[in-house]
């Protein structure tokens, strides 16, 4: 019998209840966005915690596809717009919403960009996504890590984490953050699920690392 596929490069950590930030109100399902910049010694040079504003259309579409149980051979199929702006047939699949991208995988998991335009519900890509690499204007995308679900008396949350290391030789200002998720089995496509613009941006000096934590949470 075939074995369950489990990524080998995932990291997990436990989030203590006292570390759960309460930024949402009862009835909301959303995300708290935490941005941490660290220098080469691991010292925190900047930290921001804010309410993520912007699940976009593709997230609700993939959730709807789960909810309706849309099969691969349903006709007509449901089409969802991937990060390139191309529409693809989507169906119910256990890989939908996967955001466990590995090192350098820029369209699965948290991603960063320099765009400053306010999000709209129809956004399907970051305005100006920063590429993976060590060249000028590039950041090195780490593997996505996850914090398992944790609860206090009113909130349940889990964390999606990714490091972006700056070895470009100069400072880079990140103005937008996104979360890309997978859709479909074979072939696979990738969709923007969340897009947030960071007021004033956050600077990542050369030699420093930006850690993005999306804490998806629900408040009862």
Partner 1 sequence: MITARLILERLDKNQDLLERREQPSRSFVNQFMKFLYMHHAQVGYTITDINGTSRSVSPGGTGSWHNFVPHLVMGAPGGGIWTPYSSYSVNTNLWAQMLPGELVGIVVGAGSTSPTPGDYRLEDRIPHGRTGKSGTKADFVNGGFETGNLNGWTIGTNDTEWNPVVSSAAWSQKVGSYFCAGRSTGSVTEGSYWYIRQDIDLTNVTHIGFTIGRLSYGASVNRWCRVYIGGNLVYYRDMSGSSEANWPLILNVQDLTGIQTFEVRNYLQSVGMTYDWTGLEGFTTYNMKQLEYGGCEVINQSYANPNGQFTIQRYFTNNSAVPITVNEVGLQSPGCYPADNTPTYAFLMARDVVPGGIALAASEILRVTYVVQITV
Which spans of this chain sit near partner 1 (rule: CB under 8 A)? 1-7, 10, 24, 26-30, 51, 53-57, 59-61, 63-64, 66-69, 71-72, 91-100, 119-122, 146, 148-149, 151, 153-158, 160, 181, 185, 216-218, 220
Nearest distance, CB of residue 174 and partner 1, angstroms: 20
Tell which residue, 117, 209, 213, has the closest CA to residue 172.
209
Residue number with CB closer to partner 1 (53 or 203): 53
Nearest distance, CB of residue 38 and partner 1, angstroms: 24
Q: Are 176 and 120 within 8 A, CB to CB?
A: no
Rounded distance, CA 73 to CA 56, Å? 26
Residue number with CB closer to partner 1 (112 or 179): 179
Question: What residues contact residue 184 under an 8 Å CB cut-off, 6+ apart?
Answer: 88, 90, 91, 93, 95, 96
Residue number with CB closer to partner 1 (133 or 158): 158
Nearest distance, CB of residue 67 and partner 1, angstroms: 4
What is the enclosing helix (H) or strand (E) of 132?
none
Q: Are 9 and 162 within 8 A, CB to CB?
A: no
Nearest distance, CB of residue 195 and partner 1, angstroms: 8
Residue number with CB closer to partner 1 (121 or 131): 121
Beta bridge partners of 61: none
């Amino acid at each position: 019998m075939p074995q369950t596929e489990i990524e080998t490069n995932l990291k997990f950590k436990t989030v203590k209840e006292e570390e759960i930030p309460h930024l949402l109100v009862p009835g909301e399902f959303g995300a708290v966005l935490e941005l941490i910049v660290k220098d080469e010694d691991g010292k925190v040079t900047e930290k921001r915690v804010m309410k993520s504003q912007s699940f976009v259309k593709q997230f609700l579409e993939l959730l709807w596809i789960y909810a309706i149980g849309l099969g691969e051979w349903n006709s007509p199929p449901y089409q969802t717009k991937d990060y390139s702006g191309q529409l693809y047939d989507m169906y119910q699949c256990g890989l939908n919403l996967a955001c466990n991208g590995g090192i350098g995988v820029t369209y699965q998991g948290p991603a960063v960009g320099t765009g400053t335009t306010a999000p709209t519900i129809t956004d399907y890509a970051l305005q100006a996504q920063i590429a993976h690499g060590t060249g000028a204007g590039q950041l090195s995308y780490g593997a996505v890590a996850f914090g398992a679900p944790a609860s206090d008396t009113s909130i349940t949350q889990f964390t999606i984490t990714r490091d972006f290391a700056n070895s470009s030789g100069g400072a880079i200002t990140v103005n937008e953050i996104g979360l890309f998720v997978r859709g479909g089995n074979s072939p696979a496509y990738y969709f923007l699920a969340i897009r947030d613009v960071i007021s004033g941006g956050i600077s990542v000096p050369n030699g420093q690392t930006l850690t993005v934590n999306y804490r998806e949470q629900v408040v009862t």
